[in-house]
Amino acid sequence: MELMREGQLSRLRWQNSGLSQIIVEEKDANGTWCKSGSQAVTPERFPIRLFSQGQIAAMAGESRQALLSVIDEAAQVGKLKREFEEEKRSFLTQRARLRELEGKLADRHEVERRLHEVVKKLDAFAQAHHAEVLKAHAHAQNQRREVEQLLEQMRALPGRIEEVVQDLILDDWPSGVFDDASDADVLKWRKKADDAVRQARQALKQASCALAESARLFEQDPLLAAWRKRTDKARADFDALQQALAAQGVNDPQAFGQLVQERQYLEAKLKRLDQIKAERDTLEEAIATQWQKVVKAREAITSARAEFVKKILDGNPYVRIEVVPFGFDARVIERSLRELLEATDDRFENDILAMDAAGNPTGGLAFEIAHADDRKAALDSSKKQLQTIADAFGGHFKNYLKKKLERPEFADRIQCWFPEDDLRIEYSRRADGTDWAALTQGSQGQRSAALLAFLLAFGEEPLVLDQPEDDLDNHLIYDLIVRQIRENKLRRQLVIVTHNPNIVVNGDAELVHVLDFRGGQCRVVERGALQENPVREEVCRVMEGGREAFERRWKRLGRRV
C-alpha cells in the first residue's frame, strides 16, 4: 500500500504469514524504494479509517464506547486524557506523601506530654537547688547548639559554591553546524560567552576559597573564644553543682543531667515535628489545589468531546449526539465501578446494581449515579459512601470494603474514579432534521444510517467502508450514502467495498475494481473508470434493471453510453 501524507510518499509491504511483519519504505533521492529509518506504524503516521457494516451496526447498538473512541481520536482527546492521568498521578503522589507525614506526626502529642513533664521536673529541681546555676547551664547549652550549627553551615558553604561552579557551564555546539570560515563572527561571539562563564567560574572559586578561609578564622576569633570561656564556666559551675548534690545525699544525683539531656532531645524532636507539621499543612493546601486540577482535566475531556460533536453535527439532518458526562447507562457505570473495586463477578449486586425480575436496574450505586439529576453530586456521594463504608451497605459488602480500605491508597483511587462519558444519540425519522427520536427506537437500517451519517461528517484521512449499504433501503442509500460520498470525495480518499452498483454509479466512482470468486479465491476481473466499456459491462451485469438502468443513470450525469 502506498500512502501520500503531507507531501511524503510512503509504502507499506507485508505478507500474509505467521509473523505478519510490516516493512515501511520511502523513496530516496534517486527515486528508489528503500527501508525507512523508522519502522513505526501508528495512526498518526499512517492515518486511515476502516469501518465495516458490522462495526457500524455495533456502534449503533450497545457499543457506544467504541464510537466514543472514534470521537476521541478525531477530536484529539488523547492529549487531554494524558494530562488527566498526569494530574491524577500527581494527586496520588501528594496523597501518599501526606500519609507519610501523618505517620511521622502520629506521636507528636506524646512528645509534647513527655516534654511538659520533663520541664516541670527541671523547674522543681531548679527551685530547690541553685536555680541560677542550672539556668545558666541550660542557657549555655542552647547557645552552644546554635553556635555549632552556624559553624557547620559556614564550613559547608564553600562546598555548595563549588557545586554551583561545576554546573556553571555552557553546552558545546555539535560539530558541523558552524563553519570556521563563514561563521567566524558567531564563533567569536561564542568564545566571548565562554570567557564570561569562565570568569564567573573563577570568581566563584575565589569566593569559595575566601569563604573557607573566613570560616577557619571565625573559629579562632577572640570574640568566640571569650564566649566559649563564659559557657565553659557555666558548665564547670553545673558540674560542681552535681557534685554538691551528690554530697548532700540526693537519691539520683545524675537525674538532673539526664533530665536536661532528655529535654534537649525532646525539644529537638518537637522542632522537627513542627517542621513536618508545617510541611503537612502546606501539602494539604497543595492537594486541594491539585484535586481541582484533576476535576478540571476530567471536565476538559467531556468539553472537547461535546464541542467536537456539536461542531461536526451542526445542521446535520440525519443524526444528533449529546455527550453525557459520566454516562447514563447503569450497566456501563456498574462495569466501571466493579473494575475499580476489583469485584468483576456478580457479588454485591444489591449494593452496586440491583435488578428486577425482568433484568431492569432498580437500585444500587450505579443506578443512583445514572438516574440522578445532578450526576456529579451523585458521583461524589457514592465515593463518600464507599470511602466511609455507609451503614446502608450489606454486611458482606461492608466487610469487603473494610478489607480493601486497609490499604490507604485504595480510598485515593476511589476519589479519582470517574465513570466514562456516554453518548445519547437521536436520529431524524424523516432524514430531514425533524421528528427526532432515540436511536434505540429505530430499525437496524435507521440506526446504521444515523451512525454512518456521523462517521462521514468529519475527517480528512483515507476512509475504507466495507458494504455500507447493508441494512439500508434504496432511499437511504441514495439520500445518505451517495450524497455524503460525493461530499467526502472533495476532502479525502474513499475506498468502498460494495455489492450495490448504485453506490458505484451514483457515487461517481473514479476507479472501479470488479471482483469475482475464481480459482478458489477473490480476483480482480476488471479495473478502470466507468467510462471504460469492460467496466461498464460488469456494472450493468450486476445492476438491477441491467444495461437500460445504467443508461438512464449515465444520461442523468450528462453522458451517453
Top pLDDT among 214 and 483 is at 214
Q: What domains, with CATH codes, occur in the chain?
A: 1-39 (no CATH), 80-284 (no CATH), 326-420 (no CATH), 444-557 (3.40.50.300)
485: pLDDT strictly greater than 90? no
In the predicted model, is pLDDT for residue 387 greater than 90? yes
Look up residue 512 and give its three cell numbers: 472501479
When pLDDT is cut at 50, 70 and 90, the band that residue 556 belongs to is low
pLDDT category of residue 246 using cuts at 50, 70 and 90 = low
* E-state strands within 199-333: 319-324
> What pLDDT score was predicted for residue 504?
86
Secondary structure (3-state) at 517 = strand
Q: How is residue 180 written as a grid cell? A: 570556521
Q: What's residue 330's pLDDT? A: 93
DSSP codes, 25-40: EEE-TTS-EEE-S---
pLDDT value at 47 more than 80: yes
- Per-residue pLDDT tens digits for 290-330: 999 999 999 999 999 999 999 999 988 888 999 999 999 99
Phi and psi, residue 424, nearest 5°: -100, 110
- State the CB neighbour count (10 A cutoff) for residue 84: 22
The total of other beta-carbon atoms located within 10 Å of residue 393's CB is 19
- The DSSP result for 448-510, as a single string, is HHHHHHHHTSS--S-EEEE-TTTT--HHHIIIIIIHHHHHHTTTS-EEEE-S-HHHHHHTT-S
Calculate the CA 504 to chain-centre distance. 44
For the stretch 422-463, pLDDT in tens is 999 998 887 788 889 988 888 887 788 888 888 888 888 899
Could you count the other beta carbons within 10 Å of the beta carbon of residue 233? Answer: 13
Q: What is the dihedral of CA 538, 543, 549, 551, to 10 degrees?
A: -20
- For 108-127, the pLDDT digits (tens) are 999 999 888 888 777 756 65
Residue 519, Ramachandran bin (φ over 0: left; ψ between -120 and 50: alpha; else beta) = left
> What cell numbers appear for 343 in the block?
469485584
Given this model, what pLDDT does residue 253 score?
45
Average pLDDT over residues 122-144: 74
Lowest-confidence region among 112-121, 212-221, 243-252: 243-252
The cell numbers describing 64, all together, are: 457506544
Res. 251 pLDDT band, cuts 50 70 90: very low
Is 16 buried (19+), middle (13-18) or exposed (0-12) by CB count in 10 A? exposed
Q: Write down the mean pLDDT value for the chain.
A: 86
Q: Residues 360-375: pLDDT tens digits? A: 899 999 999 999 999 9
What is the distance between the alpha carbons of residues 501 and 544, in angstroms, rounded to a whole number? 8
End-to-end CA distance of the chain: 33
Three-state DSSP at 59 gives helix
Pairing of strands 319-324, 354-355: unpaired
Residue whose grid cell is 552535681: 242
With a pLDDT cut of 90, the percent of the chain lying above it is 42
Instruction: Please tell me which of 14-23, 40-49, 55-64 the model is most confident about, judged by mean pLDDT.
Output: 40-49
The predicted structure's pLDDT at residue 103 = 92
Q: In the 8-state DSSP scheme, what is residue 552?
A: H
In tens, the pLDDT along 154-203 reads 889 999 898 888 888 888 888 888 888 889 999 999 999 999 999 999 99
Residue 169 C-alpha cell reads as 557551564
